[in-house]
Amino acid sequence: MWGRYHPCGGSGLEWYEQLKKPGFLVPLGIFYLVGALYYVLFAVVLYRVLSRVGDPPGRAISLGLALGVMLFNELWNYAILGLRSTLAGFLGIVVFVALLTALMAALLRYEKFSAVLVVAYYLWVLLYDLAWTYQLWRLN
């Protein structure tokens, strides 16, 4: 699903291919597009937090949460593919939503433009990823 190379190795991808998928699974190209936009978006958010947030505690909180979201995003791949666990994938997205919500709150307070940028991704995770991982877990 994520291409030929993945830190979890081919066995995780082979395992994923054997799973029953929800009927609303989006095409692979959409996943690639969202992934590419995510990295560009977070590069902009990191830049703006570092360059525009003048309040040192606000900068630290926003930066820490943004980096935490990025790290947890990578760890989620291991949770679902490396552990071969749809339950870990679903629970990981639940925690990810909480972390992303905290980032949204910090950005709304300290860097509103970045918050606006993150809204589309936040809605994707909240409305699609959460439902997708839940259904993936329930089907398997």
Mean pLDDT of 57-85: 95
pLDDT at 5: 43
Q: Give residue 2's pLDDT band: very low, low, confident or very high (50, 70, 90).
A: very low
- Report the length, in residues, of the chain: 140
Q: Minimal CA–CA distance to 132: which of 33, 39, 30, 41? A: 30
- Rounding to the nearest 10 degrees, give the CA dihedral for residues 100, 103, 108, 111: -130
pLDDT at 13: 81
pLDDT at 28: 83
What CA–CA distance (Å, rounded) separates 34 from 121?
A: 8
For 12-54, the pLDDT digits (tens) are 888 998 999 999 999 988 988 999 999 999 999 999 999 999 9
- Domain assignments of the chain as residue spans, ordered by start: 10-17+26-139
Q: Minimal CA–CA distance to 4: which of 23, 26, 32, 27? A: 32
- The share of the chain scoring above pLDDT 70, in percent, equals 92
**How much is the pTM?**
0.88
Rounded to a whole number, what is the distance in angstroms from the first to the last CA of the chain?
A: 17
pLDDT at 9 over 60: no
pLDDT at 1: 36
pLDDT at 12: 82
